[in-house]
């Protein structure tokens, strides 16, 4: 009786704290919010101190890195829990049903930017750790929290930080909750992520916008050429037409194709989540295979020419597109960027000049879900949800995860709690209170499972 009353009390204190964390507009891509990121890092430091951990705030060329650890003891496993306190922009803000930085609960679901991606998820780990220390005086493992403020912009300063502090961050395994569940109540272990490579190209034609009546038909239109170049990226079967693009792609294993075919989130679910009139994609692959196990070329933005009301008869002087490629195991982002640049240059007609700027990039990642660590994660997920976990890859990217492997030599257990309709990066991002509480429970069970490994 007393136990359960205390549990309820703790969990509402944790929720209050989560709402405070969600109130920081920690938008990493927009320099107007730099101070908010800094204050958010300070607030986390305070919470981690209160939990009984030793904390460090590390300034970087961008936003601060927060580290916290318990007193490490020889003979115990060392677990590094990674999360990110930065969030994506909120536009279009008019489509939010409640203010993005005022957490609002409706039918047991928290609505706020960052609720799922990733504040709600990493704060559940902080709460789990705080509760365990409060009850037992310590944790069953040596713990390191590593929280960054630049994940949503490709973690440009975190890999150098890892290299610089590799000795201090030495660990046996990394735990991350920044991925999804295939459905409510279905525990999900993610054993792979796609990588990413971004670029922007600008086409420059006439030195100023031209009268399209006077010059139209005799001067190449940069906006038309943007469309032609974008169209040249895919063939009629939805395959990417860049020479050499698939050379290093590791094919899907037959066991993965079989297991994914049994998952509830099939094509109907994708249609329902996205509200598109029909699905699209590379011939020969299911919707989940296309999203999790095959590479893509996407246009994230396109611009040039008149955007105002009514018409304006010009040949725009310039036009641009922003592209990103999602990559699968085997592919190297630097090589893909080279191939893409060569493709764009080759297909660009003489009438315009092309300038290409490479953007951020991150490696794909895959681990053995059946390793001892993978099994420990599966067991903790099973106990948390009282159901057998499913094993999936995800289409999103968390660039630092492959760096954990390259720099620290360790695998990452991705035990995310995001639901398919969480609206990450979109208006009305949300996270059920039940998932937040499951995250707290999962933290405690997982640290114990990891401590019990030989
Ligand atoms: N939590 C996501 C990554 C993710 C998304 C994992 C969906 C699994 C499923 C993360 O915060 C994110 O959005 N990453 C960016 C990284 C990019 C900006 C380098 C992404 O995937 O677009
Ligand atoms: Mn994100």
Give tens-digit pLDDT for 290-311.
999 999 999 999 999 999 999 9
Atom of ligand 1 nearest to the CA of 360: 19
Distance CA 279, CA 298 (A): 15
User: What is the total residue count of the chain?
Assistant: 454
Identify the CATH number of the domain in which residue 227 sits: 3.30.70.360
Q: Are residues 447 and 328 in the same domain?
A: no
- Examine the fold and report which residue of 307, 339, 362 is the final residue of a domain before the chain moves on: 362
Which atom belonging to ligand 1 lies closest to the Cα atom of 425?
13
Q: Give residue 328 CA to ligand 1 midpoint distance, Å.
A: 14
Whether 236 and 332 map to the same domain: the answer is: yes
Cα 116 to ligand 2 centroid, rounded to whole Å: 9
Pocket test for ligand 1, best of 87, 151, 158, 194 (most atoms within 8 A of CB): 151
Residue 63 and residue 153 in one domain? yes
Structure confidence at residue 273 (pLDDT): 87
How does the average pLDDT of the chain come out, rounded? Answer: 96
Q: Residues 343, 369: one domain?
A: no
Return the ligand number nearest the Cα of 87: 2
Residue nearest (by alpha carbon) to ligand 1 atom 19? 154
- Please tell me whether residues 93 and 222 are part of one structural domain: no
Is there a single domain that holds both residue 16 and residue 152?
yes
- Ligand 2 (ion): residues with CB under 5 Å are 117
> Which one, of 336, 449, 393, 339, lies nearest residue 182 by Cα?
393
Same domain, 36 and 185: yes
Residue 264 is predicted with a pLDDT of 76
The CA 118 to ligand 1 mean position distance, Å, reads 10
In a domain, 115, yes or no: yes
Distances, alpha carbon 247 to alpha carbons 265, 305, 330, in Å: 29, 37, 9
Q: Residue holding tokens 């039940």? A: 434
Q: How many CA atoms lie within 13 A of 72 on its CB side?
A: 17
Tell me the mean pLDDT in the region 400-426. 97
Interval 9-63: pLDDT, tens: 467 999 999 999 999 999 999 999 999 999 999 999 999 999 999 999 999 999 9
Q: Please report which ligand is nearest the Cα atom of 83.
A: 1
Q: Which of 198, 397, 424 to mutate to test the pocket of ligand 1 (most atoms within 8 A of CB)?
A: 397
CA 240 to centroid of ligand 2, rounded, Å: 25
Centre of ligand 2 from the C-alpha of residue 105, in Å = 21
pLDDT at 265: 61
Cβ 137 vs Cβ 43: under 8 Å: no
Does residue 8 carry a pLDDT above 80?
Answer: no
180 with 212, same domain?
Answer: no
Q: Which pLDDT score is estimated for 64?
A: 98
**Residue where one domain finishes, among candidates 319, 342, 362:** 362
Taking the centre of ligand 2 as the mean of its atom positions, its distance from the CA of residue 398, in whole angstroms, is 8
How many domains does the chain divide into?
2
**Quick one: which ligand is closest to 422's CA?**
1
* pLDDT tens column, 146-204: 999 999 999 999 999 999 999 999 999 999 999 999 999 999 999 999 999 999 999 99
* Contact status, residue 314 vs residue 211, Cβ threshold 8 Å: yes
Residue whose CA is at the smallest distance from ligand 1 atom 1: 178
Question: How many angstroms is it from 131 CA to the middle of ligand 2?
Answer: 27
State the burial class of residue 384 (Cβ atoms within 10 Å of its Cβ: 0-12, 13-18, 19+). Answer: buried
Check residue 10 and give its pLDDT: 64
**Mean pLDDT value of segment 409-438:** 97
Does 301 reside within a domain? Answer: yes
Closest ligand 1 atom to residue 154 Cα is 19
| Residue 88 alpha carbon, nearest atom of ligand 1 | 13
Same structural domain for residues 45 and 158?
yes
| Count of CA atoms in the C-beta half-sphere (13 A) of 439 | 36
Q: Which long-range contacts (CB under 8 A, 24 or more apart) does 49-55 make?
A: 50/130, 51/126, 51/129, 51/130, 51/133, 52/130, 52/133, 52/134, 53/129, 53/133, 53/143, 53/145
- End-to-end Cα separation, the chain, in angstroms: 36
Res 268 pLDDT > 50 = yes
CATH number at residue 406: 3.40.630.10
Q: Which ligand is nearest to the CA of 419?
A: 1
For ligand 2, the distance from its centroid to the CA atom of residue 405, given in whole angstroms, is 21
Q: Give the domain-ending residue among 362, 385, 406.
A: 362
107 and 173, same domain (yes or no): yes
Per the structure, the complete domain to which residue 208 belongs is given by: 195-249+295-362
Query: Which ligand minimizes its atom distance to the CA of 394?
Result: 1
**Ligand 1, CB within 6 Å, residue ranges:** 117-118, 151-152, 154, 178-180, 196, 360, 362, 394, 396-399
pLDDT digits (tens, 9 = 90+) for 79-129: 999 999 999 999 999 999 999 999 999 999 999 999 999 999 999 999 999
Q: Is the dihedral of CA 414, 416, 419, 423 positive or negative?
A: negative
- Is there a domain that residue 104 lies in? yes
- CA–centroid distance, 124 to ligand 2, in Å, is 17
Q: Which two tokens stand for residue 388?
A: 């057998």
140 shares its domain with 82: yes
Residue pair 143/88 in contact (Cβ under 8 Å)? The answer is no
Residue 446, pLDDT > 80, answer yes
């Amino acid at each position: 009786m007393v136990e359960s009353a205390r549990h309820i009390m703790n969990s509402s204190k944790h929720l209050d704290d989560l709402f405070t964390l969600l109130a920081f507009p920690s938008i990493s891509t927009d320099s107007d919010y730099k101070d908010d990121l800094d204050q958010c890092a300070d607030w986390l430091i305070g919470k981690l101190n209160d939990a009984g951990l030793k904390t460090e705030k590390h300034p970087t060329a961008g936003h601060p890195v927060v580290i916290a650890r318990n007193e490490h003891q020889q003979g115990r496993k060392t677990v590094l829990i990674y999360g990110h306190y930065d969030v994506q922009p909120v536009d279009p803000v008019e489509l939010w049903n409640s203010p993005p930085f005022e957490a609002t609960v409706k039918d047991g679901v928290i609505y706020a930017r960052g609720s799922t991606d990733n504040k709600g998820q990493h704060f559940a780990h902080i709460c789990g750790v705080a509760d365990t220390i409060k009850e037992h005086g310590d944790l069953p493992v040596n713990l390191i929290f590593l929280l960054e403020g630049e994940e949503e912009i490709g973690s440009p300063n975190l890999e150098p930080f890892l290299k610089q502090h590799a000795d201090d961050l030495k660990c046996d395994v990394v735990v991350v909750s920044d991925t999804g569940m295939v459905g409510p109540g279905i525990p999900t272990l993610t054993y792979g992520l796609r990588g990413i490579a971004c670029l922007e190209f600008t086409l420059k034609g006439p030195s100023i916008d031209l009268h399209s009546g006077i010059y139209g038909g005799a001067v190449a239109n940069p906006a038309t050429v943007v469309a032609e170049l974008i169209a040249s990226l895919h063939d009629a079967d939805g395959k990417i037409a860049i020479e050499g693009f698939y050379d290093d792609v590791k094919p899907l294993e037959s066991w993965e194709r079989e297991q994914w075919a049994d998952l509830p989130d099939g094509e109907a679910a994708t249609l329902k989540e996205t509200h598109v009139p029909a699905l699209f994609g590379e011939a020969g692959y299911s919707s989940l295979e296309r999203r999790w196990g095959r590479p893509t070329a996407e246009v994230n933005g396109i611009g040039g020419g008149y955007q105002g009301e009514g018409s304006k008869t010009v040949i725009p002087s310039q036009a641009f597109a922003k592209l990103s490629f999602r990559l699968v195991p085997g592919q190297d982002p630097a090589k893909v960027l080279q191939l893409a640049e060569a493709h764009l240059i080759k297909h660009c007609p003489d009438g315009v000049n092309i300038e290409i700027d490479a953007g951020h990039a991150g490696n794909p990642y895959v681990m053995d879900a059946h390793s001892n660590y993978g099994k420990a994660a599966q067991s903790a997920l099973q106990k948390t949800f009282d159901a057998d976990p499913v094993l999936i890859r995800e289409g999103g990217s968390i660039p630092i995860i492959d760096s954990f492997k390259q720099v620290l030599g360790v695998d990452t257990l991705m035990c995310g709690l995001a639901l398919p309709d969480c609206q990450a990066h979109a208006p009305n991002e949300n996270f059920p209170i039940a998932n937040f509480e499951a995250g707290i429970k999962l933290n405690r069970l997982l640290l114990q499972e990891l401590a019990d490994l030989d």
